[in-house]
Amino acid sequence: MDRTPIIPARDLRRVAVDLTAVLPGGENGGAKVVALELVRLLAQTLPGCEFILLTLARNHDELAALNAPNVKRLQVDVPGPTQSRLRNSTLHLRSIARRVVPPLLLERLAGEYQKYKKVIPNNLLQRLEAEVLFCPFTASDYYEPAVPLVSIVHDLQHRYYPQFFDTAEVHARERAFQKACRCSRYIVCGSRYVCETILAKGEVTAERVKIIPILLHRRFSRPSPAEMEQALRSIGLASDEFLLYPANFWPHKNHEALLCAFRQYLEANRDSKLKLVLTGAPGSRRDLILTICHSNQLLSNRVVVPGYLAEQQFSALLHGCRAIVFPSLFEGFGMPLLEGMAAGKPLLVSRATSLPELAGEAALYFDPSQPAEIAGAMAHLEQDADLRRRLAAKAADRLRAFRGPEEMAARYIEVFRAAMK
């Protein structure tokens, strides 16, 4: 990472950052990476500004890795004796309600409770003397009208694919989005595609929506040849003999269509040594994908599912793969595409949502709903070395349209300063 330029902090002294939504490991996907890297970048860029991270008991210790002279954590769910008794009573009533109240009604009641809570604020931010509240996970329960709120909206997937979520989560996501539209001084998104969907689906003016691309693509350093060989060998891989799909096993990531396509590719190319690597956090969806692989003889020996990896291991996969394949049905940005381009890799990419906007001419595109088209793209790339070289060269050209993390941090700081006015 390039040295971040220091921006004077004379007009920005204290920012509260709501990280209460952070989950363990990779369960938040790219949103967690963005939030944590942004905290580090902002703290380095503004050493004279204090960043107070709002945490919960479940993530407070994990977020200690962000500690710095101007970064402090504040656990906001530490109850006193009275609050503890009230919390225990609330949990007891909630457990009873879950057994007798229909889920949709329970979700609506929770929404009304949140509205009631908002009427009686605890003035946490004012007591902290925060000048801005920054919420990287769409909306904050700690919003106070006297403190300007800046929110990130990563996407509105629940509006387009509600079937990928349970009813309660659809309502929770929609409530968070509407609150962000209602309360945020500015909403930040990573792509023009998301900006357009926010303006189409939310009651917010164009002046309040800012596009700041996620410029974290150079965070993985290239491992030495020996380090790469060792890391790949440990999971049964050889350099340049596998496609990499770096994604959690969420429904919109479209793993089933990818496996169907890879099976078709292998059936038509019996001499191919190509493997497919699927990284991502563990869970029931990952177990389902493993079951699909184990039930098919062709896939069982050719699909590698190493789990959620540490950065060094992931970097070996990123720099050692033949290409990045990305069949997602819905993306607000698509960080792995930039990471793949930064590693000099050709891209096989879904022609959906924000992905063509991001990859430009540096990708071979396919319809993510058509496994035969995905298989054809795999075969085309595998059989045409000139195509691989051309795509890698175009990736290098495409990256010039994106600057580095220092640009990303500077643009967020501009938004924070504008919010204070």
- DSSP letter string, 94-137: HHHHHHHS-HHHHHHHHHHHHHHHHHS---HHHHHT-SEEEETT
Q: In 3D, which of 244, 54, 18, 242 has the Cα closest to residue 138?
A: 18
Q: State the Cα–Cα distance between residues 12 and 9, nearest whole angstrom.
A: 5
pLDDT grade, residue 2 (50/70/90)? very low
Helices (H), 191-246: 192-201, 225-233
Indicate whether 105 pLDDT > 80: no
**One fold for both 14-215+404-420 and 225-399?**
yes
Stretch 119-127: mean pLDDT, rounded? 73
Q: What local confidence, expressed as pLDDT, does residue 85 receive?
A: 46
Q: State the Cα–Cα distance between residues 334 and 353, nearest whole angstrom.
A: 10
Stretch 57-77: mean pLDDT, rounded? 96
Residue ranges covered by each domain of the chain: 14-215+404-420, 225-399
For domain 225-399, say whether CATH 3.30.460.10 is its number.
no
Share of the chain above pLDDT 70, in %: 87
Least confident of 113-122, 204-213, 269-278, 354-363: 113-122
Locate the DSSP E strands across 153-265. 184-189, 209-211, 242-246
Count the alpha carbons within 13 Å of 398 in the hemisphere toward its beta carbon. 26
pLDDT grade, residue 9 (50/70/90)? very low
Indicate whether 193 pLDDT > 50: yes
Least confident of 12-21, 102-111, 215-224: 102-111
Average pLDDT of the chain, as a whole number: 90
pTM of the complete model: 0.86
pLDDT grade, residue 115 (50/70/90)? very low
pLDDT digits (tens, 9 = 90+) for 393-402: 999 899 988 9
Return the H-helix or E-strand segment holding 3. none
Give the pair of three-digit tokens for residue 107: 């979700």
Contact between 240 and 320 under an 8 Å Cβ cutoff? The reply is yes
Expressed in percent and rounded to 5, the helix, strand and coil fractions of the chain are 50, 15, 35
Residue carrying the six token digits 């350099």 = 239
Q: What CATH number was assigned to the domain covering residues 14-215+404-420?
A: 3.40.50.2000
CA angle 290, 295, 299 (to 5 degrees): 70
pLDDT grade, residue 87 (50/70/90)? very low
Of 76-80, 115-119, 272-276, which one has max mean pLDDT? 272-276
Contact between 348 and 243 under an 8 Å Cβ cutoff? The reply is yes
Task: Kindly report the backbone phi and psi dihedral angles of residue 336, in degrees, each rounded to the nearest multiple of 5, phi listed first.
Answer: -60, -25
pLDDT digits (tens, 9 = 90+) for 320-376: 999 999 999 999 999 999 999 999 999 999 999 999 999 999 999 999 999 999 999
